[in-house]
Amino acid sequence: MLNNVPNERPRYTALGGLVLGSSLLAVVSMFAAMRWATDSWIVALVVALIWGAMILTIDRWLVTSVSGATSLVARLSSYLPRILMAALLGAVIAEPLVLAIFEREIAQEVSLDRMQSLQEYESKLRLCNPVAGTAEAAKPPDPTACQDYLLVVPDPGAALVALTGYQAQADALQKSVDAGAEELDQLEARARRACNGSGGAALTGEAGEGLNCRHLHADADRLRAEQTSETARLSDLRRLIQDRQTSLSQVQESAAEARNAAIERLVQSQEAALGPAGLIDRLSALQRLGSDSGNVAAATWLLRLLITLINVLPAFARLVMGTTAYDRIVAYHSEIAVRTQFAVAENRRDLILADEELARERKELELAVLREQIELEASIDRLLVDSRRANLISRRATELRGASGSISAADLPEKRDHPSIES
């Protein structure tokens, strides 16, 4: 039909190029999306080609399904839904292409976001699993917020409690030793004053080793012995505390190493569970980039609009083209085809009606022949019955003549209809 209107060929060739271009964009877009969804390039390519064929088919339908429309209102009412559908398909096609264009920036944003997420996860594990006796255990964690982050690691809490008890005993004993030393100093000073004859409360004021001098020296010696014993106990307790501190440090170091190893394993498992960045991760990263930078947001939206416009162009161009000579030829051929089909259908209907009439007449003829045959057979049966009855009457009359020489009417058999005739 285009050969009949050669001036229309460039226009429709350009329209076909637009349809083919939008389908190629769909192939590239789907290939980019499937590349992030699967590791197989073959699967991605096959799916992309199938998607491109679907878009090609849809676009062809969009530009050819109303080729016979002549008025502007008819074209608008027909093409407006098609333009909206093309815009929707364009938006779907545009998003993977935008992601592919900003591939490097999106990959960096995804990597940074995952790093921050893993750091927050590791920090939460360390906060919820502090090593007892360290500075990080000074503030106890919230049990409600940490119920999903608790680890099973060695706990130096028992050793820390025992060490705390020993330190409390040492502090109490140190206070007792300090108080005893002060009391010993005061007692020795009184003994010296008593022995030197110095005056004072409860002192005689006479020099020499008197009763007070001896008693005060004896009390000082007894208190000194007690102080020596407590000092020895305090030294032993200090050495025990030092040993327990060394042991606690080793237990804390072991617990910290076990906790760090468990945290490292969980962080590595969490990182492995994240896997390669998918379509959702990239969309979220692009949204964050747009939120952080107005230039990025403007660029992404301009690209989306451009790609959507390219996909809408076939339907829009078909609307702008209006009614062409090619459309009129198509409409004429369509009308001729419809009329031809109507004529064929009417001839077929007439043929069917003629066949039905012929069959009806054939049945009526067969019924008439059957009735005539039945009537003929009935007439033959009646003639045979009448002939047999006449023969019987003749034989009977002959028998009666032979017997009496004459036949009366009473001797003749009664005339009756034959049963076969009645039937």
User: 225 lies in which domain range?
Assistant: 148-275
My answer on whether 256 and 341 are in the same domain is no
Helix ranges (H only) for 275-324 are 279-292, 294-321
My answer on whether 32 and 94 are in the same domain is yes
- How many alpha carbons lie under 13 Å from residue 147 in its C-beta half-sphere? 3
Q: Which residues are within 8 A (CB) of 237 and not within 5 positions of it... i.e. 6 or more apart?
A: 166, 169, 170, 173
Per the domain annotation, does 178 fall within a domain? Answer: yes
Per the domain annotation, does 117 fall within a domain? Answer: no
Q: Which residues are within 8 A (CB) of 255 and not within 5 positions of it... i.e. 6 or more apart?
A: 131, 132, 153, 154, 155, 156
Residue 93 gets the label, from left (phi > 0), alpha (psi -120 to 50) or beta, of alpha
Rounded Cα distance, 76 and 359, in Å: 54
Tens place of pLDDT for every residue, the chain, 423 residues?
A: 778 888 888 888 888 898 898 899 889 988 988 888 787 889 989 999 999 999 898 888 877 765 555 566 666 676 777 778 878 888 888 888 888 888 888 888 888 888 888 888 888 887 887 766 565 665 767 777 777 777 766 666 666 666 677 677 778 878 877 887 787 777 777 766 666 655 555 555 555 565 666 776 677 778 778 778 878 887 877 787 777 766 667 676 777 777 788 888 888 888 887 777 777 888 888 888 888 888 888 988 898 888 888 888 887 787 777 777 777 787 788 888 888 988 899 899 999 999 999 999 999 999 999 999 999 999 998 899 888 888 888 888 888 887 665 445 454 455 444 444 444
Per the domain annotation, does 135 fall within a domain? Answer: no
My answer on whether 152 and 269 are in the same domain is yes
My answer on whether 253 and 357 are in the same domain is no
Per the domain annotation, does 359 fall within a domain? Answer: yes
Domain boundary (323, 343, 362) is at 323
C-alpha distances (whole Å) from 92 to each of 119, 133, 136, 188 are 35, 58, 51, 100
- The DSSP 8-state label assigned to residue 137 in this structure reads G
Rounded Cα distance, 279 and 98, in Å: 12
Tell me which residue has tokens 């036949």.
Answer: 407
Tens digit of pLDDT for each residue in 196-208?
655 555 555 555 5
My answer on whether 168 and 265 are in the same domain is yes
Tens digit of pLDDT for each residue in 311-329?
888 877 877 777 777 777 8
My answer on whether 271 and 165 are in the same domain is yes
Rounded Cα distance, 212 and 194, in Å: 6
My answer on whether 162 and 266 are in the same domain is yes
My answer on whether 175 and 270 are in the same domain is yes
* Dihedral angle, C-alpha 379, 382, 387, 388, nearest 10 °: 140
Per the domain annotation, does 405 fall within a domain? Answer: yes
My answer on whether 269 and 304 are in the same domain is no
Rounded Cα distance, 291 and 294, in Å: 7
My answer on whether 81 and 167 are in the same domain is no
Per the domain annotation, does 128 fall within a domain? Answer: no
My answer on whether 153 and 271 are in the same domain is yes
Q: For the chain, what is the domain count?
A: 3
Helix, strand, coil % in the chain, rounded to nearest 5 = 85, 0, 15
Per the domain annotation, does 342 fall within a domain? Answer: yes
Q: Could you tell me how many helices (H) and strands (E) the chain has, helices first?
A: 10, 0
Per the domain annotation, does 106 fall within a domain? Answer: no
pLDDT value, residue 423? 40
My answer on whether 362 and 385 are in the same domain is yes
Residue 405 gets the label, from left (phi > 0), alpha (psi -120 to 50) or beta, of left
